[in-house]
Chains A and B, each alone.
Chain A
Amino acid sequence: MAEKILTRNFHLPGSHTLALYRETGGYAGLEKAFAMKPAEITEEVKKSNLRGLGGAGFPTGVKWGFLPQGHPGPVYLVINADEGEPGTFKDRYLLERDPHALIEGMIISAYAIGAHLAFVYIRGEYVQPWRIFGRAVAEAYEAGLLGKNIRGSGFDLDVIVHRGAGAYICGEETGLISSLEGKKGWPKLKPPFPAIRGAFGAPTIVNNVETICHVPHIMNRGAAWFAGLGTKSQGGTRMYSVSGHVTRPGVYELPVSATLRSLIYEHAGGIPGGRRLKAVVPGGSSAVLLTADEIDATLDVDGLKNAGTMAGSAGVIVMDETVSIPEALMVVARFYAHESCGQCTPCRESTGWIYKMARRIVEGKGRKEDLDTILDVARRGAGTAICAFFDGAVGPYISYIEKFRHEFEALIRK
């Protein structure tokens, strides 16, 4: 069994308290970090091959490096805790069971990028995580770990915990920023990117909860150790949310070099009831669907990319042979039609249109040309929108039909 890093305390009662976090070595990384120069921390994070674990998989240290040097005004750190990708529930565990890991990671990251104000944008439906994390923040303030002159370092950091209001699009980093600013959660045009002009017009780094939780460990044990846990292009472990037709659904922390097959069969206990595996969504609902014989891919960003899909948010949805893929597509299409923010035309209009076609097929009113229309609309819309939302929806639209076309055709022939 590989070493657990992020989830090492999850089984301990009181894992969410400052006392237990400290007992198990918490806030040691912070002491190390304060002995370093901010640029050295960024360099260490670069060397660790830590990649963003919210979905896009962008190298974290490189992202930090995009901030303008010597910016005269404030710089902000924003933690994306708007975990909304269907099939993903790892950040929730971190917020509930190890909130101080996030706080320590935030202090180090803010110190590295020169931010004195950090926002934590928590998904509105995450009431319990919000409560627990809020208490942890209060504890940290009391212990002098947040606020002015943290632990005598001369470094100040304040944290604002902000609750979302229930829109998937607010997990998109610029949609999140709009929402944080008090506006409708509409993604922003890029350029400018948030690192240049983000929250409230200030240079802003947006990082996922899990990503930042790794940072104290990188400080503690070094970039080389972290990089060595993973593959050539991605360091560390990762938390996989496994749901669907497995014996033991839940969150599993594995090195990113593990295979999808081992995750499903060794860790999650395989498919219950002796049924056969039909398909797996490896990285949240926006990822391209893999068939039962495509699961030997490794789970790192590049491994799944080479398999024609994406690691995304590492939300693994397992479907056995009882699943109707056309119905699954209808459900996914309904989600994207419901969650499209409506700001730009291709996404707003085609998500609704594709859902109507998918639903009609499932209802037995499909027409022969519908499948090609869905594929054509998805391909034409791809890459034309403001944000990546529609490109994410295109993954399932195309892969469900291309890989299981016979199931759709069977429904249309009826």
Chain B
Amino acid sequence: MVRLTIDSKEIEVAEGTNIIEAARRLGIEVPHYCYHPGLSVAGQCRLCMVELGNNPRPQIGCNTQVAEGMVVRTDTPKVLEVRQSIMEFHLINHPLDCPVCDQAGECWLQIYYMKHGLYEPRMVDEKVHKPKAVPLGPHVMLDAERCILCSRCVRFCDEVTGTGELGIFDRGDRSEIGLFPGRELANPYSANVIDICPVGALTDRDFRFAVRVWYLDTAKSICPGCSRGCNIDVHYNIRRPHHNQGRRVARLKPRFNAEVNRWWICDAGRYGYRFVDDPSRLGAPARGRGDAAQEVGWEEIIPLVTAQLRRYRPDEIGVVASPKMANEDFFLLRRLVDHLGLIHVDFRVPPRTPGDEDRILIKADKNPNTRGAELIGLGPRPGGLDARGMLRAARDRRIKCLWVFHHDLQASAWPAAEVGDALRAVECFIYQGSNSNGVSAAAHYVLPSAAWVERDGTFTNFEGRVQRFWKAVEPLGLSLTDWEILGRLGAALGLGPEPASAEACFKALAASAAPFAGLSYRELRDTGKVLSA
């Protein structure tokens, strides 16, 4: 450990820490553009200047490691003057097109100009012109005039993904970010460069011109795209419902978690939210197949489904839960399964094409909560069938009632004919999920679920880390969260009153399932907890 003084405040930090990070610990912000804790030090923007001891020349904080007894000042007239000068240099060739720039409102040129610039503009000559609106790949759009050449995007592609698509070409004030010949910025993490771009140079082709960022609200969440459980923020727009074609979820952004995803998320996860506001969403409970299908209220469907579950012998009912459901849902489903004495229970449905996996974040299991389903015990009971076994049994009319959560069995690895035969043969097919899919149309009963952004809950990732996600927007239409639906069914089946909240479900889970013992929402905090089991 090294002890030093920053702006007269003493602090002890680990050796090797730089001044920006040491100051951050004291709540002192040393402004910077090119420095990023997840990337190598470039020292290019020259904004993070601080004064060190009696050194008359300010030094950059990013490339200065702390030393015992070091005296750092971040607020001297000299430092303030250098910052102002550097801000002016950053802005002389900037197009100042904030009104039409997507980054406006979250742009570090705007923020730092207001904090550290505020000079009278002196540049009257023609600015340097560079390419604008250049697609670099499927997700990223470049405006080279807005670029401050901090090289974060270049270093990301060199150091994090190792793909090296980007470079800085030409020199002097003609320098610009660009792709190497024949390359495209299409690596599985490409859109992270948008997040780390401190200005409006790299914008999101999916998000740009959709909503002004100051209309967005944020909810902390967990990406449901694979078993990594990357921490994310859901940015949603409900203040200007006429923007973004009425879609409420505007974008997902990575949320730092040192233990899980650090600063990054993959593109598949980032753009995997579109189902939330998709026309395929199931808006109301429904009964009857095909032309006979009719939407009904919950007060009508709950007794109907309850009656079906009571009508069949436990070994005539098959339940295929989904590893996309939350721990809270699993707890209530498990309780219901146990109550009815069902034995054919499973949650594993293999995808048609195996998921891709890499050594960065992406996991082959494209479900957020496989581990939770395993731990809470939603696999086959003794003597029970697995999911494929249930389909075969349904085809042979040994299983008469099939209750499928979320899965599109038609997109599974199993032959379509096998799935089709089973669904045609079964007497009662209950589908519970957020969106219609290849099998939902065959359901006798449709129970519409809220999407993950429409509710609170927890997922358990591949390493057993239980992480909370928070509700961003209201459930669409009449849809209810899975735990509410299961709570209502449970109450109707005589399992006692419906739980009041997701937190109450989790509390009950923690009280009954050993791996979760002692946990609570409070205990999980923002970053989650790894189960000891």
Contact = CB atoms under 8 A, between A and B. Distances in A.
Interface in B33-73: 41-47, 49, 57-58, 63
A344 B173 contact: no
A189 B43 contact: yes
Interface stretch (B86-94, B242-250, B288-296, B315-323): B86-94
Interface string B66-102: 0000000000000001100110111011000000000
Interface in A357-403: 357, 360, 367, 369, 373, 380-381, 383-386
Which of B43, B89, B128 lies at the interface centre, i.e. has the most chain A CB atoms within 10 A of its CB?
A: B89
B359 interface: no
A342 B175 contact: yes
Contacts of B174: 342
A352 interface: yes
A350 interface: yes
A3 B49 CA distance: 50
Nearest to B81: A380
Interface string B158-179: 0000000001101111110000
Nearest to A346: B89
Contacts of A346: 46, 85-86, 89
A337 B175 CA distance: 11
A171 to B, nearest CB: 14
Nearest to B65: A191
Contacts of A227: none
B126 interface: yes
B148 interface: yes
A349 B92 CA distance: 7
B122 interface: yes
Contacts of A324: none
B86 to A, nearest CB: 6
Nearest to A357: B125
Nearest to B44: A344
Interface in A144-197: 167, 169, 184, 189, 191
Interface string A118-135: 000000000000000000
B172 A340 contact: yes
Contacts of A386: 43-44, 46
A210 B274 CA distance: 67
Contact of B173 (A169, A352, A385): A352
A271 interface: no
B171 A189 contact: no
Given A189-B43, A344-B43, A384-B58, A349 B49 contact: no
Chain A interface residue number, banded: 20 to 34
Contacts of A348: 89, 149, 172-173, 175
Main secondary structure of the interface of A (DSSP, over half): helix
Nearest to B43: A189
Given A342-B171, A345-B86, A384-B58, A352 B44 contact: no
Contact of A384 (B86, B90, B172, B173): B86
A141 interface: no
Interface residues of B, number: 36
A342 B149 contact: yes
Which of A189, A344, A350 lies at the interface centre, i.e. has the most chain B CB atoms within 10 A of its CB?
A: A344
A279 interface: no
A189 B41 contact: yes
A19 to B, nearest CB: 44
A98 B85 CA distance: 48
B46 A342 contact: no
Given A373-B122, A384-B85, A342 B168 contact: yes
Given A343-B44, A345-B149, A338 B172 contact: yes
Contacts of B124: 367
B239 to A, nearest CB: 36
A353 interface: yes
Nearest to A342: B175
A309 interface: no
Contacts of B47: 345
A345 B93 CA distance: 11
A386 B172 CA distance: 14
Nearest to B169: A184
B360 interface: no
A373 B125 CA distance: 13
B123 interface: yes
B530 to A, nearest CB: 38
A305 interface: no
Nearest to A348: B173
A380 B172 contact: no
A349 B43 contact: no
Interface in B89-131: 89-90, 92-93, 122-126, 128
A171 B289 CA distance: 79
A343 B46 CA distance: 10
Contacts of A338: 172
Nearest to B62: A189
A155 to B, nearest CB: 37
A94 B168 CA distance: 35
A189 B40 CA distance: 12
B89 A381 contact: yes
A337 B63 CA distance: 26
A88 interface: no
Given A345-B47, A385-B46, 4 more contacts: A342-B175, A369-B122, A384-B46, A384-B49
20 contacts: A169-B171, A184-B167, A189-B41, A340-B172, A342-B170, A345-B46, A345-B47, A345-B90, A346-B46, A346-B86, A346-B89, A351-B172, A351-B173, A352-B93, A353-B92, A369-B122, A380-B81, A381-B89, A384-B85, A385-B46
Interface of A: 167, 169, 184, 189, 191, 337-346, 348-353, 356-357, 360, 367, 369, 373, 380-381, 383-386
